[in-house]
């Protein structure tokens, strides 16, 4: 059981616990879904799913999601709203997660080059938190320089890992392009396609980062897309991940079959077979956002459509002209319906990724 290997069994886990959990996931062939959260409501929907499925969970905030946590009315110049929102969200998650009795990895999503001030701001918050608590505020962050030149991507990622290492903080990086259908690629010649990361790149990253810290993972492009698109020209090739592991293993002379922690981006819309194949090659985290946005909406949508006659006026409905409608328009009633459908969809993901029942 995963909790047997963890020093902190419930709440936000950091440092060696994160490493141990990802090792355990590789060993037992499961991946932890990373749920994009934008509010206390989406946080609790995700925590409830993980608790009910007896699984660990990763909660992550994107730069936009973090700003939303602070409020859309706040100016985001110099990433101030995104920093404040991420810190607020992190403190909220740290406060409520223990009540759910499951381990939670607190993570931040894609940070591209132009957003680096956001990451810098969060790292300052981590260092301040470390001074008083002996651990970083966030379990991990993601840096995404995949649109930049490969050399610069690796070099800059290494600098950030150096800053995170004394905190024993995890860093996820991205290589290759995780595109959309509009990238319109020809996948006939897979190995020459920029959508697909090459094993040499993975080894180069491993070689550069592993002397700095063991706390890193790689999101490698293997034809995945962000968002749900109609079937297009991009074809998922999870088999490439197996090649990456084999190449690194051979180069470093590793005993283990899966020396690299891999991350699956753009999971929405993929098949269970794709997920399970990728997980068998050492994927420990799968990002899932688009499908959950849809799931959250459906509960609220259906409620509003089914209760139309009860929410048009504050007083008066089909049961009587003077009947009050307060119990229908209280946000705890209709927002809750979105939480329920989101929770259900996350439980499906926990089953798909073999995570359910692993605590």
Catalytic positions, please?
A: 109
Q: Is 288 annotated as a binding residue?
A: yes
Beta carbon nearer to Zn ion, 135 or 174: 174
- Per-residue interface string for the shown chain with Zn ion, residues 160-199, x marking contact by CB under 5 A: --------------x---x---------------------
Largest interatomic CA distance in the chain:
78
Sequence-ordered strand ranges (E) for the chain: 11-12, 32-36, 57-61, 103-108, 140-143, 170-175, 216-220, 262-264, 283-288, 315-317, 320-324
Burial 191-213 (b: 16+ CB within 10 A, else e): eebebbbbbebbbbbbeebeebb
User: How far apart are CB 174 and Zn ion at their closest, in Å?
Assistant: 5
User: How far apart are CB 144 and Zn ion at their closest, in Å?
Assistant: 6
Residues 6+ apart with CB under 8 A from 233: 181, 183, 184, 185, 186, 187
Nearest residue (beta carbon) to Zn ion: 265
Beta carbon nearer to Zn ion, 88 or 112: 112
User: How far apart are CB 142 and Zn ion at their closest, in Å?
Assistant: 8
Q: Is 338 annotated as a binding residue?
A: no
- Cα distance between residue 234 and residue 354, in whole Å: 26
User: How far apart are CB 110 and Zn ion at their closest, in Å?
Assistant: 6
- Cα distance between residue 287 and residue 105, in whole Å: 13
265 lines the binding site for Zn ion (CB under 5 A): yes
Q: What angle do CA 328, 334, 335 make, to 5 degrees?
A: 150
Binding residues for Zn ion, total number by CB under 5 A: 3
139 lines the binding site for Zn ion (CB under 5 A): no
Q: Is 227 annotated as a binding residue?
A: yes
Q: Is 157 annotated as a binding residue?
A: no
User: How far apart are CB 172 and Zn ion at their closest, in Å?
Assistant: 9
Q: Is 268 annotated as a binding residue?
A: yes
Beta carbon nearer to Zn ion, 149 or 305: 149
Beta carbon nearer to Zn ion, 26 or 224: 224
Q: Is 287 annotated as a binding residue?
A: yes
Q: Which of these ranges, 33-41, 209-217, 258-266, 335-343, lies near Zn ion under the rule CB under 5 A?
A: 258-266
Phi-psi region of 285 (alpha: psi -120 to 50; beta: other; left: phi over 0): beta
Beta carbon nearer to Zn ion, 265 or 345: 265
- Cα distance between residue 138 and residue 169, in whole Å: 8
- With CA atoms as reference, report the closest residue to 23 among 220, 245, 247, 258: 258
- Cα distance between residue 224 and residue 183, in whole Å: 11
| 30: helix, strand or coil | coil
243 lines the binding site for Zn ion (CB under 5 A): no
Q: Which parts are annotated binding residues for dihydroxyacetone phosphate? A: 227, 266-268, 287-290
Residue positions forming the annotated binding site for Zn(2+): 110, 144, 174, 226, 265
- Which residues contact Zn ion (rule: CB under 5 A)? 174, 178, 265
């Amino acid at each position: 059981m995963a909790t047997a290997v963890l020093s902190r069994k419930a709440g936000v886990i950091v440092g060696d616990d994160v490493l141990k959990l990802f090792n355990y996931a590789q060993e037992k062939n499961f991946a932890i879904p990373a749920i994009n959260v934008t509010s206390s409501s989406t946080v609790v929907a995700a925590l409830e799913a993980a608790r009910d499925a007896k699984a660990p969970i990763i909660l992550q905030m994107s730069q936009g999601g973090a700003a939303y946590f602070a409020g859309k009315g706040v100016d985001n110049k110099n990433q101030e709203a995104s920093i404040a929102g991420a810190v607020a969200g992190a403190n909220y998650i740290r406060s409520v997660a223990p009540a759910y009795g499951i381990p939670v990895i607190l993570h931040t999503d894609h940070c591209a080059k132009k957003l680096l001030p956001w990451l810098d701001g969060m790292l300052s918050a981590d260092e301040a938190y470390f001074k008083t608590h002996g651990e970083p505020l966030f379990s991990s962050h993601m840096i995404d320089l995949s649109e930049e030149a490969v050399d610069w991507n690796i070099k800059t990622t290494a600098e950030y890992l150096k800053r995170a290492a004394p905190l024993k903080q995890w860093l996820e990086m991205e290589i290759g392009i995780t595109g959309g259908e509009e990238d319109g690629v020809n996948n006939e010649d897979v190995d020459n396609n920029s959508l697909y990361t090459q094993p040499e790149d993975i080894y180069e990253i491993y070689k550069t980062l592993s002397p700095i810290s063991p706390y890193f993972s790689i999101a490698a492009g293997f034809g995945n897309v962000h968002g749900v698109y109609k079937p297009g020209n991009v074809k998922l090739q999870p088999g490439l991940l197996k090649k990456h592991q084999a190449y690194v293993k051979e180069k470093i002379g590793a005993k283990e079959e899966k020396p690299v922690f891999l991350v699956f981006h753009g999971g929405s819309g993929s098949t269970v077979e794709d997920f399970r194949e990728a997980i068998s090659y050492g994927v420990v985290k799968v990002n899932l956002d688009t499908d959950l946005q849809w799931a959250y909406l459906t509960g609220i949508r259906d409620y509003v459509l089914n209760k139309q006659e009860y929410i048009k006026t504050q007083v008066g409905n089909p049961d009587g002209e003077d009947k009050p409608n307060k119990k229908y328009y209280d946000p705890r009633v209709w927002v809750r319906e979105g939480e329920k459908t989101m929770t259900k969809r996350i439980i499906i993901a926990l089953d798909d990724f073999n995570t359910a029942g692993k605590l």
